[in-house]
Amino acid sequence: MTESTLIKGADIVGRGRADVLVREGRIAEIGTPSAAGAAVVDADGLVLLPGLVDLHTHLREPGREDAETVYTGTRAAAKGGYTAVCAMANSYPVADTAGVVEQVAALGRAAGYADVQPIGAVSVGLGGERLAEIGAMADSAAKVRMFSDDGHCVADARLMRRALEYVKTFDGRIAQHAEEPRLTEGAQMNEGAVSAELGLPGWPAVAEEAIIARDVLLAEHVGARIHFCHVSTARSVEIIREAKDRGVAVTAEVCPHHLLLTDARAHTYDPVYKVNPPLRGDGDVAALRAALAEGVVDAVATDHAPHAPQDKDCEWSAARPGMLGLETALSITVAALGGPESVDWDLVAERTSRTPARIAALAAHGRDPEPGLEANFTLVDPSRSWTVVPSELASLSQNTPYAGMELPVTIQATFLRGRATVLDGKLAETAEENQ
């Protein structure tokens, strides 16, 4: 790869307006470089963010290629401004061995749209009984640093303790899907006034909060890192705040849908709004937004959960939980942090790129542009809104809860190691273009 690209006049977050010269996949110069022969990208009026990093993506491959593949999922990621995604382990087979995590990473490289960092399972088959081959996955070519049974909670305290002890030896982390299973048996939606009104079995907030409180104590006892997936309640935020104040190595993510939507959506009985943990109440949404702004919640993560039509276009109780997230996350984050006119873009970069890259231990991502670094960044048009049309999304599935909604900002371009995976809002069409 020899060609160079000059990005002209972007508003670089944390630095201000400048030109960026990209050569051979890296940032060559920032300022007013002269670049004869370089392809020019006019970035006047665009915000340049470090490429977004998603801590929580369900790519569905291997096993559910009817819902998403690594190829289609990473195309959706690139369109959403992401240069790296962490692939959750609940595939078929489960990513609980070195072989599966290496396969997923290789599929990501072959597609070329975003770096794919596999997350390894904590337990064999997500069964919650025996530890998976954590060491073999960490030592594998996929270099797994984060482990999660997401979709399921590591409910057994003894197993969680052992997992924390194990990952501590190589500075790994456990990402917990906090859901006390006995408290959510049969649950269909948030437990509250709306579930009572609709007569649907409720998923109480305490089922999340009790596990978070327990795991804070276990992580503290072991001296290991714990990360909480998709935190959804005001009380969870308070438990995490208290843990951080005491110096426990805890981090947490929030999903865009929990920052925008409430359980009132269940009135529609449209299963597109069914998700786990469920949409909560107004007070939770407000607390999560404040916690994200403040940093008690460290990162935005999509929990991008594509589902095939037969798993979603059915009655509420039969539908699988989960919704798409990659292509809409940045807009919703901007909306939740004050809207495009008043949002602090440095804060956006912190929560969607720098901090998630740190949590996932991805050294080449989440870095503000500097000469010599890999050219992984995103150009956002802060004044161009767009309307979500499910059939126009890059994901193979269409289960977005934002259909028809106007979202405030547009991804104009995404660069992965100097290559435009997205340019003028359009995906590069062949994988070879990305190699």
Q: Which residues bind Zn ion (CB under 5 A)?
A: 150, 177, 229
Report 7-26 residues binding ligand DOR (CB under 6 A). Answer: none
The binding track of 40-59 with respect to ligand DOR, each residue x by CB under 6 A or -, is ------------------x-
Shortest Å distance, C-beta 62 to ligand DOR? 14
Shortest Å distance, C-beta 152 to ligand DOR? 8
Picking from 150, 147, 218, 220, the residue whose alpha carbon sits closest to that of residue 178 is 150
Q: Check the CA dihedral 122-124-126-128 and report its sign.
A: negative
Shortest Å distance, C-beta 241 to ligand DOR? 23
In 235-352, beta strands by DSSP E: 250-254, 299-300
In angstroms, the CA 327 to CA 190 distance is 25
The binding track of 300-339 with respect to ligand DOR, each residue x by CB under 6 A or -, is -----x--------------xxx-----------------
Q: Pick between residue 98 and residue 305 the one whose CB is nearest to ligand DOR.
A: 305
List, in sequence order, the alpha helices (H) in 80-204.
Answer: 98-111, 134-139, 157-168, 193-198
Number of residue whose CB is nearest ligand DOR? 322
Mark 83-101 as b/e (b = at least 16 C-beta within 10 Å).
bbbbbbbbbeebbbbbebb
Report 171-230 residues binding ligand DOR (CB under 6 A). Answer: 177
Q: Pick between residue 322 and residue 418 the one whose CB is nearest to ligand DOR.
A: 322
Shortest Å distance, C-beta 43 to ligand DOR? 36
Q: Check the CA dihedral 175-179-232-315 and report its sign.
A: positive
List, in sequence order, the alpha helices (H) in 40-155.
Answer: 70-79, 98-111, 134-139
Q: Pick between residue 229 and residue 407 the one whose CB is nearest to Zn ion.
A: 229
**What radius of gyration do the chain's Cα atoms show?**
21
Q: Which does 225 bind (CB under 5 to 8 A by kind): ligand DOR, Zn ion, none?
A: none
Q: Which does 58 bind (CB under 5 to 8 A by kind): Zn ion, ligand DOR, none?
A: ligand DOR
In angstroms, the CA 435 to CA 432 distance is 5
Shortest Å distance, C-beta 58 to Zn ion? 9
Q: Pick between residue 48 and residue 261 the one whose CB is nearest to ligand DOR.
A: 261
Q: Is 276 in the site for ligand DOR (CB under 6 A)?
A: yes
Residue among 54, 263, 303, 381 flagged as catalytic = 303
- For residue 152, the 8-state DSSP code is S
* Choice from 234, 275, 362, 409 touching ligand DOR (CB under 6 A): 275
The binding track of 385-424 with respect to ligand DOR, each residue x by CB under 6 A or -, is ----------------------------------------
Residue with tokens 């995590």: 101
Q: Pick between residue 276 and residue 410 the one whose CB is nearest to ligand DOR.
A: 276
* Choice from 33, 118, 151, 271 touching ligand DOR (CB under 6 A): 151
Q: Pick between residue 271 and residue 322 the one whose CB is nearest to ligand DOR.
A: 322
Identify whether 270 is a catalytic site residue: no
* Choice from 90, 176, 398, 421 touching ligand DOR (CB under 6 A): 90
State both tokens at 2.
């020899």
Question: What does 72-92 look like in DSSP terms, one character per residue?
Answer: HHHHHHHHTTEEEEEEPS-SS
- Contact between residue 56 and residue 86 where contact means Cβ atoms under 8 Å apart: yes
Task: Give how far Cα 421 sits from Cα of 166, 378, 384, 426, Å.
Answer: 37, 10, 20, 8
Q: Which residues are catalytic?
A: 303
